[in-house]
Structure 1
Amino acid sequence: MLSVTLILILTACNGGSGDQQESQDSDEQEKKSISIGLDPYDYATVPAYLSKEILEQEGYQVEIMEGEVGVLYEALSNEDIEAFIDVWSPNLHSTYLKEYKDDFEVAGTLYSDMPNGVAVPTYMEDVNSIEDLKQHKEKFDETIYAIEPGSGTAQTTERMVETYDMQDFEIQNSSTAAMMTQVQREIDNNNGIVFNAWRPHPMFVRFDIKFLDDPKNSWKDDDVQIGVTDDLKEQSPTAHTLFSNMELTLDMVEEWQISLDSEEKSAEELAETWVKENQDKVDKWLEK
């Protein structure tokens, strides 16, 4: 009886040690280095740098890789980066999704039904629809201000011009910052201007502007998602869990963007502060 009891005790102890060792081995085997793709839009710094801060607390080494949208889709498909945090689906990035949709998976959705389109100052009371632009084209110097060529927004602007038979208009592409500088200049002079607009962006806080109605549905609301490599869940489950659960609000993102400008704080500092003040939410994203 004594021998049997000792054997059972030893077996139980060894079993417990084995389970603990298995857990340790699993943690050690997790790949804890990751590259996150960041395109050139202020709102995208929020999920990028929040992810970096949170994963570094979990022992990860995180690199933010900056690039244009098309470059980042290609990098994700080639597994040169593990995650791209600004996938607009199904409309705005439709060209890239058609080309690369089989090369990555969607881990989660940051926010749904994001409005985007073209806007004008609210003092332009006679212009409330995209169809009104042709009738008042002289007020806009026959120009539509748009962001970088190759972006989903710029591509949709080109399709909008065709759909509404607005070939008299020239599309003036530039960086987002340059476009917003032009918006500021024209509004200060009470001039007409039509330009790319979307949320999240502090333009709707800084300026008194309005989206134009789009009766021909050139612009459609999108979900903003996180694309990851097919093997991320297996190789880096902590990162995959975070990307699956992270959700943001428009107000939070736009407050972040305003802080970047007005308080001269870096994205890293804002991320660190936000994580400290919202640890309960972070734990929920990590399913702790």
Structure 2
Amino acid sequence: MLLFSIVLIAVMAGCSNGGGNKSVKLAYVAWDSEIASTNVVKEVLESKLGYQVEMLQVDAGPMWAGIADGSADGMVAAWLPSTHASYLQKYQSKVEDLGANLEGTKIGLTVPAYMNISSIDDLNKPDVAKSLQNQIIGIEPGAGIMMASEKALNDYALKGYTLLESSSAAMAQEMQKAYDAKKPIVVTGWTPHWMFAKMDLKYLADPKGVYGGDEQIHTIVRKGLEEDEAAAYQFLDQFRWTAADMQSVMSAIQDGKTPEDAAKDWVNSNPDKVNEWIKGIKSE
């Protein structure tokens, strides 16, 4: 009887907190913006809704493919309508778009404000090209901004230029190093990003519209998530925040906090916003 009671208590405890059965897999790309947002989403799912969350760091293509084939449950990192347009076109029948979680994002070629150029066309000037060693510092291959930058090389006839593949972290480090030394540099940049808070930067004008206009970051989930994990689905559907919110988490990480601690601190400091995200969700 004692053994039965212990087992019964354990089972009931397991039911009350999900018993490890309430789990969600979140895919993301290791961009500073998506590290911030995905960790905040993870913190809310775990601390407020009792989920166990697995974070899957991948490149942009596998991130979309993972949602489409069900190996991941969702992501809060879809840059639309332009940056990830090709991925949405490929997978839209296999995923569910829950809409924008952040408005007013932007991508483009980015330089320090002290550089005396204002347009992508200016990169064709011989003295500018020489000062930049005919290099544009990029991020991970397969990222939407990299595909747009390849198109920019062609559309603006940037002959002799090389788009260097790296990572978002390496790109930002190169920008910081060049900025500190007041040297010329051009990178694939986007906002929100901590670089724009730490340094005086500007986008090069894009008269051909290669990089599109203002964008949004969307939440994308796998088909069937609503039926399988109603609480997680409802939270992801209600998740909305601002560029300033994201910027504060990114800056905390850049200043030395771990992504987990930065997310936890932000969630604890913004109860009203978090309560809106989980409003109406039935406890399971």
Q: TM-score normalised by the shorter chain: which range applies?
A: 0.7 to 0.9
Q: TM-score, normalised by structure 1?
A: 0.85
Aligned ranges 1:95-110 → 2 under 5 Å? 95-110=86-101
User: Which residue does the alignment assign to 1:242?
Assistant: 235
Change (3 A) 1:38 1:162: same
Partner of 2:41: 51
Structure 1 SS opposite 2:210 = coil
Number of aligned positions between the proteins: 259
The partner residue of 2:179 within 180, 187, 201 is 187
Shift of 1:111: 1.0
Asked whether the equivalents of residues 145 and 173 of structure 1 are also in contact (C-alpha less than 8 Å), the reply is: yes
**Contact 1:37–1:72 (CA<8 Å) still a contact in 2?**
yes
Q: Distance in 2 between matches of 1:95 and 1:202?
A: 27
In 2, distance between residues paired with 1:173 and 1:61?
A: 34
Instruction: Measure the CA separation in 2 of the matches of 1:181 and 1:202.
Output: 11
**Following TM superposition, by how much is the alpha carbon of 1:179 offset from its aligned partner in structure 2, in angstroms?**
1.6
Q: Does 1:67 align with 2:37?
A: no
1:168 paired with 2:160, answer yes
Q: Aligned residue for 2:12?
A: none
1:240 to partner: Cα distance: 1.3
| TM-score, normalised with respect to structure 2 | 0.86
Listed as ranges, the matches of 1:218-233 within 5 Å are: 218-220=210-212, 221-233=214-226
Pairing of 1:182-221 with structure 2 (within 5 A): 182-220=174-212, 221=214
Amino acid across the alignment from 1:159: K
Match of 1:171, SS state, is: strand
CA distance in 2, matches of 1:191, 1:101: 43
1:282 and 1:89 map into 2 onto residues whose CA distance is 24
CA 1:46–1:186: 2 relative to 1, 3 Å: closer
Secondary structure of residue in 1 paired with 2:115 = coil
Q: Distance in 2 between matches of 1:176 and 1:50?
A: 19
Is contact 1:108–1:245 with CA below 8 Å preserved after alignment?
Answer: no
- Structure 1 residue 238: deviation in Å? 1.2
Give, in whole Å, the separation in 2 of the partners of 1:114 and 1:176: 16
Q: CA deviation at 1:151?
A: 0.9
Q: Which residue of 1 aligns with 2:85?
A: 94
Q: Does 1:116 align with 2:71?
A: no
Which runs of no fewer than 5 residues in structure 2 stay unpaired?
1-14
Task: Tell me if the contact between 2:103 and 2:242 (Cα under 8 Å) persists in the aligned partners.
Answer: no
Of the three residues 23, 29, 38, the one matched with 1:39 is: 29
Structure 2 Cα separation of the partners of residues 148 and 86 of structure 1: 15
Distance 2:200 2:268 in 1: 34
Shift of 1:108: 3.1
Shift, 1:124, TM fit: 1.5
Q: Distance in 2 between matches of 1:186 and 1:280?
A: 40
**Equivalents in 2 of 1:174, 1:81: separation in Å?**
25
Matched, 1:128 2:90: no
Matched position secondary structure for 1:62 = strand
Q: CA deviation at 1:184?
A: 2.4
- 2:219 maps to 1:259: no
Residues in 2 aligned to 1:149 and 1:260: alpha-carbon distance in whole angstroms:
24
Give the superposition deviation at 1:77.
0.9
- For 1:246, the aligned partner's letter is F
Distance in 2 of aligned mates of 1:276 and 1:207: 28
Larger radius of gyration: 1
Alignment partner of 1:287: what SS?
coil
For 1:284 and 1:260, how far apart are their aligned partners in 2? 25
Aligned to 1:210, what secondary structure does the other structure show?
strand
Which residue is equivalent to 2:140?
148
2:37·2:246 contact (CA, 8 Å) conserved in 1? no
CA RMSD of aligned residues (A): 1.9
Partners of 2:274 and 2:245 lie apart in 1 by 15
Identity rate, percent = 29
CA distance 1:278–1:183, change in 2 (3 Å): closer
Greater than 3 Å deviation, 4+ residue runs: none
Question: Aligned partners of 1:108, 1:238: CA distance in 2, in Å?
Answer: 17
> Alpha-carbon deviation of 1:269?
1.7
